[in-house]
Structure formats: C-alpha cells, structure tokens
Amino acid sequence: MPQPIDYREAWTLQRTLHDEVLADPADPGHVLLLEHPPTYTAGRRTQDSDRPLDGTPVIDVDRGGLLTWHGPGQLVAYPIVRLADPGAVRAYVGALEQAIIDTLAELGITGTRVEGRAGVWVLTPGEPDRKIAAIGIHVERGVTMHGLALNVCNELAPYEVIVPCGITDAGVTTVTGLVGGEHTPASVSPILERHLRTHLEPQLAPVPATAGAAAE
C-alpha cells in the first residue's frame, strides 16, 4: 500500500474516476483502498457543535454523514461504481456494512449494525458501544463516491477533540485495540477488497458486452 494520500488529492481522483464511469457504460468501476494523513472531514449533516474544539481545520465534503477523522493506520475504501438501482442507497450501504462485518470476522472480531447509527460497531455487555468503521457516501447520476473507513491500528486521540459522527454516548475502537497483533491497513486491505467484491457485485449495473465480445 502506498504512503498516505492527501485527502483533497484523493477526492480529486474520485471525481475524475466518477466522470469516467459516467461517460462509459462499459467501465466496470473502481475501488480505491488507501490511507490519508491526519484529516478531519465534515459531511453534509455536520453541525457547528460537532467540529473540533481546538480549532483544527476541517474539510467540508459532499458525502452524507457527519464529522469524522482520517489518518495513518485507518483503511479507507472508496468504491466508484454504477448502481443497478440508483434509488437503492440503503441496500448499497448495507453491502458496505456487510463487507466490513465479514472482514472483522476473519480478524476475530464480531462487528454489528446498530439501529439508527451508521457504520459498524462492536458491542460489549456493560460497556458503551464502540464504533470501528464509519460510512459516508455520495451518489450522483447513479454512480457512487466516498465510502468507508475502518479503524485498523490508528491512534484514537484525534477523536477526543470532536464529536465523531455526531454521537456523544459511544466510543471508538480499532482492530488492534481489540485483538492485538500487527494488523495494518496493508494487511487488512486484501481481506476487505475480497468481501467488497462479494457484497457489491449484486448492487452493480451489468457492464455491457463489448462489440468484440459480442461477435465471438
């Protein structure tokens, strides 16, 4: 996996790929798997009260959701794909969630959905719910952007100066914080990619056969 990619640079790449998928029905789409340098981003529903208490800069973006943090040790996935049903956004988000849940299962972690709260969570009796993956997407003309962020081995201190995802009564955790080991975004990336392929495929528009393939 390459060095962390500046958030704005990755956002520009997403928009470029988004335009390419829109322009070419035969383009099967793309999934970017990467890390970012330390960055706070604010989705469309972010409130002023959610922003960093210390004045840390925030990048306002066009995804859904609220405020979150990205940084080294966190695995980010941005699918830029054409949906079979552009209105089935909830099903698409569910596919992202299930890919994360299946990835965590391979790592010995039970991830789950929590009613009314986006992302994937780890529930432990007697303890506050802890979020391990955030999801925020944007769908334009049936093609997706943005995606998910899975906490693998990142630090948690940056979450202490914000209200992550607008949630005040829960915590945040990481893969290594739960099971230890030497897991990194690079080691987890192939697992997540495999599960994304499995769960996204039913959500995607079929790619038209090329003229050459049709003639064979």
Residue 157 belongs to domain with CATH number = 3.30.930.10
Specify the pLDDT at position 173. 96
Q: How many domains does the chain have?
A: 1
Residue 212 lies in a domain: no
Active-site residue set: 165
- H/E stretch holding 200 reads helix 185-200
With tokens 């997407």, the residue in question is 137
pTM for this prediction: 0.90
Q: Is 40 helix (H, G, I), strand (E, B) or coil?
A: strand
Asked if residue 216 has pLDDT above 70, the reply is no
> Which residue range is the domain that position 106 belongs to?
7-203
Asked if residue 215 has pLDDT above 70, the reply is no
Give pLDDT tens digits for 81-116: 999 999 999 999 999 999 999 999 999 999 999 988
Residue 75 lies in a domain: yes
Residue 171 lies in a domain: yes
Distance of CA 50 to the CA centre of its chain: 20
- What is the maximal distance between C-alpha atoms in the chain? 63
Residue 15's Cβ-side half-sphere holds a number of Cα atoms within 13 Å equal to 8
